Structure 1
Amino acid sequence: MKDPPRSWPRITPAVFYDDAGAAIDWLVDAFGFEVRERIENEEGQVVHSQLALNGGLIMVGQAGLTPGRTYPRSPRGVDGANTQSLMVYVDDADAHCERARAAGAAITTEPATQDYGEGYWSDRSYETRDLEGHYWWFVQRLRG
């Protein structure tokens, strides 16, 4: 098997928004992502993008660009339904939470420490919902 492109992880989630352009700007501001690539069509809709954070990568795109296709959709377009969440490691969960809160993120679980036992690990994390309803966990590793 050939390796993925340089600097790409083996799994890269694609996240779709009704307004992908606004979502990218918000993800940069609220969560600290960096835009590696952003491609728009003639109408200014994002058809492909790559956002990086702490060695991880996501793709963000415009929901509903393909006529006749019922996917991809934003949670906002399906009454808030979600079938997944994203988990991202950060250096300081509390500081990250305050940054997200200041940008208008809905904090659904306040930062808390979870200790999974002496032989396992401990972390500090919080859960948030973004501007279109995707759920994110931001986690700081404490031990293990």
Structure 2
Amino acid sequence: MTNTLVWPALRYDDARAAIRWLVDVLGFEESAVYGEGERVDHAQLNRPGGGGVMLGSVREDSSISQVPAGVGSVYLVIDTEGELTGIYERAVAAGATMTQELRTEDYGGSGFVCRDPEGVHWSLGTYRGEETGGE
């Protein structure tokens, strides 16, 4: 696994359903899921090739208890147009709300934006960001 330094952290009313959706539709892989029954105390989901998210159930004893469930916007870099198209088709088939259809961007790459079943925005695209200047 690559050395990921930024981990978006999300809260869900139904974290177990969110994990299934993120794995089945967006292609994440479960790395760790802790909790009992329907409660998820902590989960780590990795993207193949690097990156990932952490998530858990809404809980009053959480250090981020002030953050409402279903709030957030995360961008995922996808390696190829073919993979991006496949994920887009799975998202459409799963009934995801599309807030931006699959399109080519004027700044480079292609992408789309959808919302997961609890309302988190997921931007997916082939744009990898601008090159940094340092050696």
Q: 1: CA distance between counterparts of 2:91 and 2:41?
A: 25
Question: Kindly, what percent of the aligned residue pairs are identical?
Answer: 34
Deviation at 1:108, TM superposition (A): 1.3
What amino acid sits opposite 1:14 in the alignment?
Answer: A
Q: Give the gaps of 5 or more residues in structure 1.
A: 1-5, 76-81, 117-121
2:88 paired with 1:97: yes
- Size of the aligned set, in residue pairs, is 124
What amino acid sits opposite 1:101 in the alignment?
Answer: V
What amino acid sits opposite 1:15 in the alignment?
Answer: L
**C-alpha offsets along residues 65-88 of structure 1, whole Å, 9 cap, x if unaligned?**
428x8523213xxxxxx4x41000
What amino acid sits opposite 1:133 in the alignment?
Answer: G
2:41 paired with 1:47: yes
In structure 2, what is the equivalent of residue 133 of structure 1? Answer: 119
Q: 2: CA distance between counterparts of 1:20 and 1:34?
A: 15
**C-alpha offsets along residues 118-144 of structure 1, whole Å, 9 cap, x if unaligned?**
xxxx110000000000001000249x8
Task: Report the RMSD for the aligned CA atoms in angstroms.
Answer: 2.2
TM-score of the superposed pair, with normalisation by structure 2: 0.81
Q: Which has the higher strand share?
A: 1
**C-alpha offsets along residues 56-115 of structure 1, whole Å, 9 cap, x if unaligned?**
110010013428x8523213xxxxxx4x41000112322211111112211111011112
